[in-house]
Amino acid sequence: MIRNFARRFCTVNPLTIQGSLSFEVITKEKDAHRFLELLTEKFSRSEGASLSMNLSKHDLFTLFDPLREYFLEHQTALIARDNSINDIVSGFMGLDYFASFPPGFESRMTPKALEVVEILDGFKNKSFEKGHTIKQMNTYFYILAGFTADEYEGRGIYRMLSNLAEKRARERGFKYMMRETTNSRLERAFAAQGYQTLSKESLDELSKNQGEKGFYWTQMQKPL
């Protein structure tokens, strides 16, 4: 029991170092705020569903920020920090797929953010009804959202963060890693890393005003 407590709450940062980059678990409020600031900025200008529904940075912040308490308490957000500029350049937040969300979670979101959650929850429920997952704690570790700064893409940083997350999730007893994406490029990258597609739902209706087709929400899973 003492060992489990130490593993869960007592993190030694950084987890690893590569050149000027240190790979860390978010344990400080100031890092959590900066991470969410960067994540929402990137999503507001490049993530498919965000663009299709015209989600602002504020909309996205109200979607992600209620999870801050969870990932700080359970140490489930990983970042890459470039120590030459002392700033976060990549990272993601994770959680137990069937964890309880904080009280008043939905009331803290803007109407647009809530609309996205309702759409995606509908897809998740449909996937569950098809038997793709079971509602059991400590089984599926779920990567909710992540980013890499534009100038750091293509350097394998996000892949290293993913490998570290898989290792930590395996140590904590999780059986599967889960991802959901609306980005076809990421879908292909995840498939190359051993993820299998569980469910795929069209989002063309969201992007009809942009004339886009072949726009999907995809749920993927990888055994640990």
What rounded mean pLDDT belongs to the chain? 89
Q: What pLDDT shows up at residue 204? A: 74
Q: What pLDDT shows up at residue 3? A: 44
Q: What domains does the chain contain, in order, with CATH numbers? A: 2-223 (3.40.630.30)
166-216 tens-digit pLDDT: 999 999 999 999 999 988 888 999 999 999 999 998 877 665 555 455 678
> Is there a contact between 60 and 35 (Cβ–Cβ < 8 Å)?
no
113-171 tens-digit pLDDT: 998 888 888 999 999 999 999 999 999 999 999 999 999 999 999 999 999 999 999 99
Q: What pLDDT shows up at residue 102? A: 78
Q: What pLDDT shows up at residue 215? A: 76
Q: What pLDDT shows up at residue 137? A: 94
Percent of the chain with pLDDT over 70: 91
100-110 tens-digit pLDDT: 777 888 888 99
Q: What pLDDT shows up at residue 18? A: 95
Please choose, from the candidates 159, 144, 4, the residue with its C-alpha nearest in 3D space to the C-alpha of residue 76: 144
> Is there a contact between 195 and 220 (Cβ–Cβ < 8 Å)?
yes
Q: What pLDDT shows up at residue 10? A: 61
- Mean pLDDT calculated for residue range 4-29: 82
Q: What pLDDT shows up at residue 100? A: 79
Calpha distance 154→136 (Å, rounded): 36
